[in-house]
Amino acid sequence: MSVTGARKYPDRTSERFPYVPPYLLGLRLAGRRVVVVGGGRVAQRRVPTLLAAGAEVVLVSPEVTASLEALIDDGRVVWHRRPYAHGDCAGAWLVQAVTDDHKVNGEVVAEAEAARIWSVRADDAESSPAWTPASGRAGDATVGVLLGGDPRRAAGIRDAVVDGLRDGALESRESRRKPAGVALVGGGPGDPGLITVRGRQLLAMADVVVTDRLAPAELLDELSDDVEVIDAAKIPYGRTVTQERINDHLVEQAKRGRFVVRLKGGDPFVFGRGGEEALHCARHGVPVTVVPGITSAVAVPSAAGIPVTHRGVAQEFHVVSAHVAPDHPDSTVDWAALGRAHGTLVLLMAVERMPLIAETLVRYGRSSDTPVAVIQDGTRPAQRTVAATLATVADEMAAAGVRPPAIVVVGDVVAVGREIDMIRADERADIPADMGRDP
């Protein structure tokens, strides 16, 4: 025995004791006292999960990490700011011994064992009465994996199972609990890997998918053959499906008892007319689920290495739909205020109107030397960036043959992105050409 009173648990390699798999049990900890001894990195991982399960967490440790201190300050955790003392386990339903002191962890487990309280010991799986599984959630399913105290392998299997549940690979379409009505799903800025987990789950459940031109089309190839795909593309200066007809598709299909996913580029409520579609469904009694997406207004500049805000450079950014020109009577944008502002401008649908936009911004106060980046096909393999200033952007875009979809970023943050690129280029140049090759 490593500590008096602590039972030594046989592991799988013992000649005397064959490996006995643990009995898996889901603990319902809501309103129950859980004692965590230790305030370091292990506690930082486990305490939030215990709180999410509704546990009343008592933390015993002379010091805690900043993240744990924030939970304590919020009143979510009771902190005894001192070393462990015998008696701390009293009244607990579960004890976690997670200090970096082997002797203290053994004493905590010994006390818990004597009181017949289940305990988990972080530093010695063999001596731990209970093991914490590698756990994860996918919808309403909770997955827990144990591999004889091997946390890395358990986490790998956990990830594979959770990923399979999230993308539908481990469930038949018939076994899934489908929502009713319509789901407005943001597909993200273009890269199919940037759709949200929830968006991908709902897409795998769809009976009908109404998709547009900017949605990640590669995701459609993952659908079952019996899923109906309705093309609702709006091609700039070309063929288009009216918004009214799209609205009608959603209601008609949903009222036939089919689960409809409206797959859109970016976020449904950021210049995506998702609000119009949600209102139309609501007026016809059709339930709507909204799944936010990563908006291209922020994601595309990021993918090009341009932060839309940067300390000391830009404390604000404005996202503008430029689908109508600044001098058009339908424009509701205060271009004069944007010309006077010092923050970053992110312009969507601006390719055709960029010469007039640049002229307008300069007329209202922006310097003609203001850096500009035009990012075409952001987050996709064909992504490219055209660098310019407000004075040169029209000519540079024409020379480069820029076409939609493209995001235009105006402001000094563009220079920050260029500096990042130069540093990266210098670092790459310093790496010997034969580094990593076999001798």
**pLDDT score for 134:** 85
User: Measured between alpha carbons, how far is 303 from 413 in angstroms, rounded to an integer?
Assistant: 14
User: Could you please report the per-residue DSSP string of 404-435?
Assistant: SSEEEEESTHHHHHHHHHHHHHHHHHTS-TTT
Give the residue range(s) of CATH 3.40.1010.10 domains in the chain. Answer: 173-294
**Residue 438's pLDDT is what?**
46
At the topology level, CATH places domain 173-294 in Cobalt-precorrin-4 Transmethylase; domain 1 (3.40.1010)
Length of the chain: 439
pLDDT for position 64: 95
Tell me the per-residue pLDDT of 231-267, one tens digit each, with 9 for 90 and over.
Answer: 887 655 555 788 999 999 999 999 999 999 999 999 9
Beta bridge partners of 119: 95
Q: Where are the beta strands (DSSP E) in 217-316?
A: 228-231, 260-264, 288-291
User: 382-413, pLDDT tens digit by residue?
Assistant: 999 999 999 999 999 999 999 999 999 999 99
User: By the 8 A CB rule, do 146 and 26 touch?
Assistant: no
Distances (CA, A) of 432 to 265, 279, 424, 429, 435: 41, 59, 15, 8, 5
Can you tell me the distance from the alpha carbon of 314 to that of 309, in angstroms, rounded to the nearest whole number? 5
For 264, the token pair is: 């859109």
DSSP line for 140-158: TEEEEE--TT-HHHHHHHH
- Strands 134-138 and 141-145 come out as antiparallel
Spatial neighbors of 5 by CB under 8 A, at least 6 apart, are 110, 113, 114
The CA distance from 143 to 155, in Å, is 11
Active site positions, annotated: 212, 234
One DSSP character per residue, 355-401 reads HHHHHHHHHTT--TT-EEEEEESTTSTT-EEEEEETTTHHHHHHHHT
Residue 261 pairs in a beta bridge with 183, 209
DSSP 335: H
Q: What is the model's pLDDT at position 21?
A: 80
- For residue 171, the 8-state DSSP code is S
- 3-state SS of the chain: helix, strand, coil percent to 5? 35, 20, 45
Q: CA nearest 7: which of 131, 96, 150, 129?
A: 129
Q: Which residues contact 166 (CB under 8 A, 6 or more apart)?
A: 138, 139, 197, 200, 201
**Where are the domain boundaries for CATH 3.30.950.10 in the chain?**
298-424
In the chain, list all ranges with CATH 3.40.50.720: 33-132
Q: How far apart are CA 226 and CA 249, in angstroms?
A: 18
Q: How far is the C-alpha of 281 from the C-alpha of 182, rounded, in Å?
A: 8
In CATH terms, 33-132 corresponds, of 3.40.50.720, 3.10.28.10, 3.40.50.300, 3.40.1260.10, to 3.40.50.720
Instruction: For residues 291 and 204, give the distance between their C-alpha atoms in angstroms, rounded to a whole number.
Output: 14
Residue 299's pLDDT is what? 96
Q: What is the pLDDT of residue 232?
A: 84
Distance CA 318, CA 304 (A): 18
**Contact in structure between 400 and 373 (CB atoms under 8 Å):** no
Q: Which residue has the tokens 């305030």?
A: 39
371-376 and 384-389 beta bridge pairing:
antiparallel
Q: What do you get for the CA distance between the two ends of the chain, in Å?
A: 51
**pLDDT score of 22:** 84
Q: Could you read off the pLDDT tens digit of each residue along the chain, which spans 439 residues?
A: 233 334 444 444 444 445 678 888 899 999 999 999 999 999 999 999 999 999 999 999 999 999 999 999 999 999 999 999 999 999 999 999 999 999 999 999 999 999 999 999 999 988 999 988 888 887 778 888 888 767 788 888 888 888 787 766 676 555 566 788 999 999 999 999 999 989 998 998 999 999 988 889 889 888 888 999 998 876 555 557 889 999 999 999 999 999 999 999 999 999 989 999 999 999 999 999 999 999 999 999 999 999 999 999 999 999 999 999 999 999 999 999 999 999 999 999 999 999 999 999 999 999 999 999 999 999 999 999 999 999 999 999 999 999 999 999 999 999 999 998 888 777 666 656 555 444 4
Contact present, 209 and 185 (Cβ < 8 Å)? no
Q: Report, at the CATH architecture level, how domain 298-424 is classified.
A: 2-Layer Sandwich (3.30)
pLDDT at position 433: 55
Angle, CA 294 vertex, CA 190 and CA 279 arms, to 5° = 105
